[in-house]
Amino acid sequence: MTLLARARELEAGGADIVHMEIGEPDFPTAAPVREAGRQALADGRTGYQPAAGLPALREAIAGHYQRDHGVEVDPGRILITPGASGALLVALAMLADPGRNVLLPDPGYPCNRNFVEAVDAMPRAVRVDAGSDYQLTPGLAAAACDERTAAMLVGSPGNPTGTLASSADLAGLAALGQRRGIGLIVDEIYHGLHYDGAPAQALAHAPDAIVVNSFSKYFGMTGWRLGWMVVPADWVPVAEKLLQNLFISASTPAQYAALACFTEASREIFEARREAFRQRRDFLLPALRDLGFHIPGNPAGAFYLYADITALGDDSADLASGLLEQAGVAVTPGLDFERTAPERHLRFAYTTDTDRLATAVSRIQRYLAAGG
């Protein structure tokens, strides 16, 4: 956010900045979804909804799991939340008692640490690297947990790395959780944005996990602030009470708008955008490698590349600052995402079109060639 604020200051002064620092797709909300939202407002659908969400939307999400993933989910287990952030906070409030710890992959989504601390629990970073495809594996989790571990939180596709959890790892984490009395939260907010085969669906391999998703990424509804969570049946009353107390309910117009996400017209738009993201990844990945950035494996989802800068410098924060101030390219240093080796990494978000990505690559090349 500091980088984004500075980038906007530079833009206000006339600079041209290529934005690769924030995880927001550059596509506007799809027209059918916008129209459904307008219609909801025109119809006066602006009152509170039940804390668990609009029943028709919960049914639609259940249909999405059945149609797209072959997983049958009782709509009664699906709760609508104010963004995935609201779902993550509720999930941690259910699982993590004060003083207990929660296993988080390092690198990982930075707000997860804050959510854990918000419920007076302790985040426990577990180093993940290319050897585990930057995912928390059952072996890593077993080595890191103790009698005070309350939960494990994984993301697939992951932020900042774009990697996917395997079905075997999801099943193994679920089994570990059952043996040790540890909850499992699976963040699937980038589901739908995959480029080399569909990711494993947590509910198929870890049916007792709390699964979190969002309308922000694949469905392109960032500013509408809408997400959902799937919880075990016995946990539904607890989750509902927390939602009632913390949020009352998610936005009513946003929920009616989201119903249009599951129409064929919207799906065609989302799939075309997914293909555009794939093309961007396929351009940017080899281009960054040619410049000397080390990106192991083949990041298969989301819209991020997490690059090791060791061959180019020794401080990613300095490099990010130099790229912004001197080259007009905004990227995010590893400090946001990890505690182990933040100075070695940058995250590139390919949330702008390929022409702009090409501009960014040319500017980075010139900056590095000039000794920046």
User: CA-CA distances (angstroms) from residue 304 to 120, 231, 276?
Assistant: 30, 28, 14
Q: What is the pLDDT of residue 22?
A: 86
Q: What is the pLDDT of residue 68?
A: 92
Q: What is the pLDDT of residue 297?
A: 83
3-state SS assignment for residue 106: strand
- How many other CB atoms are there within 10 angstroms of residue 360's CB atom? 26
Residues 6+ apart with CB under 8 A from 285: 295, 298, 299, 305
206-242 pLDDT per residue, tens: 999 999 999 999 999 999 999 999 999 999 999 999 9
Residues in the chain where the model's pLDDT stays below 70: none
Q: How far apart are CA 188 and CA 201, in angstroms?
A: 8
Find out whether 171 and 204 touch, Cβ atoms under 8 Å: no
Q: How far apart are CA 28 and CA 269, in angstroms?
A: 11
Instruction: At 286, give phi and psi (nearest 5°).
Output: -70, -30
With b meaning 16 or more CB within 10 Å and e meaning fewer, what string describes 7-33?
A: beebeeeeeebbbbbebbbbbebbebb
347-367 pLDDT per residue, tens: 999 999 999 999 999 999 999
- How many other CB atoms are there within 10 angstroms of residue 120's CB atom? 12
* pTM beyond cutoff 0.85: yes
Q: For the chain, state the CA radius of gyration.
A: 20
Find out whether 300 and 194 touch, Cβ atoms under 8 Å: yes
Q: How far apart are CA 153 and CA 211, in angstroms?
A: 10
Q: What is the pLDDT of residue 298?
A: 83
Percent of the chain exceeding pLDDT 70 equals 100
Q: How far apart are CA 176 and CA 184, in angstroms?
A: 9
Q: What is the pLDDT of residue 198?
A: 87
3-state SS assignment for residue 194: strand
Q: How far apart are CA 41 and CA 206, in angstroms?
A: 39
Q: How far apart are CA 171 and CA 206, in angstroms?
A: 5
Q: How far apart are CA 343 and CA 288, in angstroms?
A: 18
Q: How far apart are CA 62 and CA 295, in angstroms?
A: 36
Query: Among 325, 328, 316, which Cα is nearest to 359's?
Result: 328
Q: How far apart are CA 245 and CA 72, in angstroms?
A: 29
Q: How far apart are CA 47 and CA 299, in angstroms?
A: 42
52-87 pLDDT per residue, tens: 999 999 999 999 999 999 999 999 999 999 999 999
Query: Among 140, 136, 133, 138, which Cα is nearest to 162's?
Result: 133
Q: How far apart are CA 183 and CA 121, in angstroms?
A: 14
Query: Among 195, 175, 174, 168, which Cα is nearest to 186's?
Result: 174
Residues 6+ apart with CB under 8 A from 26: 351, 352, 353
